[in-house]
Amino acid sequence: MSASPAVPADQGLRRVIGDGSGVPDGDPGVGPEELLQLYRSLVLLRTYDERSVVYHRQGRIGTYAIFWGHEAIQAGAVHALEERDWIFPSYRESAIGLLRGIPAATVLSWWRGHPAGWWNPAEHRVASICIPIATHVPHAAGLAWGLRLRGEDTAAVVFFGDGATSEGAFHEGANFAAVMRAPLVLLCNNNQWAISTPVTAQTAAATLADKAIGYGMPAARVDGTDVLAVHGAVREAVERARAGDGPTFVEAVTYRAAPHATADDSSAYIDAERVEEARRAECLGRLDAYLRRAGVLTDAVAEETRAAALETMREGIAAAEAEQPGDASLLFAHAYADPPPALARDLDDLRRVTGR
Partner 1 sequence: MTTATAVRDLTLVEAVNDALHTEMERDPAVLLLGEDVGRAGGVFRASAGLLERFGPDRCVDTPLSEAGILGTAVGLCMAGWRPVCEMQYDAFSYPCLDQLINHVGRYYWRTRGAMEFPLVVRMPYGGGVRAPELHDDSPETYYAHTPGVKVVVPSTPADAKGLLAAAIRDPDPVVVLEPKLVYRTARGPVPEGEHIVPIGRARVARDGSDVTLVAWGAMVPLCERAAEELAGEASVEVLDLRSLKPLDEEAVLASAARTGRLVVVQEAPRTCGFASEVAALLAERAILDLHGPVLRVTGFDVPYPYWQLEDLYMPSVERVVDAARRLLSF
Residue 260 falls in the annotated catalytic set: yes
Report the length, in residues, of the chain. Answer: 356
How crowded is residue 330: how many other Cβ atoms within 10 Å of its Cβ? 12
Nearer of residues 16 and 212 to partner 1, judged by Cβ: 212
Nearer of residues 123 and 304 to partner 1, judged by Cβ: 123
User: Running DSSP on this structure, what letter comes out for residue 177?
Assistant: H
Least distance (Å) between residue 93 CB and partner 1? 16
How crowded is residue 26: how many other Cβ atoms within 10 Å of its Cβ? 15
Choice among 57, 84, 269, 334 that is catalytic:
269
Please report which helix (H) or strand (E) contains residue 197, including its range. Answer: strand 197-198
CA distance 134 to 271: 27
Least distance (Å) between residue 299 CB and partner 1? 43
Least distance (Å) between residue 332 CB and partner 1? 10
CA distance 338 to 196: 43
CA distance 58 to 262: 12
Please report the sign of the dihedral spanned by the C-alpha atoms of residue 49, residue 81, residue 209, residue 19.
negative
Nearer of residues 28 and 97 to partner 1, judged by Cβ: 97
Nearer of residues 22 and 151 to partner 1, judged by Cβ: 151
Choice among 221, 260, 286, 290 that is catalytic:
260
CA distance 109 to 235: 32
CA distance 211 to 244: 21
Amino acid occupying residue 260? H
Least distance (Å) between residue 209 CB and partner 1? 21
Least distance (Å) between residue 132 CB and partner 1? 5
Nearer of residues 295 and 336 to partner 1, judged by Cβ: 336
Least distance (Å) between residue 113 CB and partner 1? 14
Residue 256 falls in the annotated catalytic set: yes
CA distance 14 to 234: 12
Residue 39 falls in the annotated catalytic set: no
Nearer of residues 31 and 113 to partner 1, judged by Cβ: 113
CA distance 13 to 27: 15
Using CB under 8 A as the criterion, which residues of the chain lie in contact with partner 1 when the complex forms? 86, 115, 118-123, 127-128, 131-132, 135-147, 149-150, 168-169, 172-173, 175-176, 179-180, 333-338, 340-342
Choice among 92, 114, 139, 256 that is catalytic:
256
CA distance 312 to 314: 6
Catalytic residue numbers read: 256, 260, 269
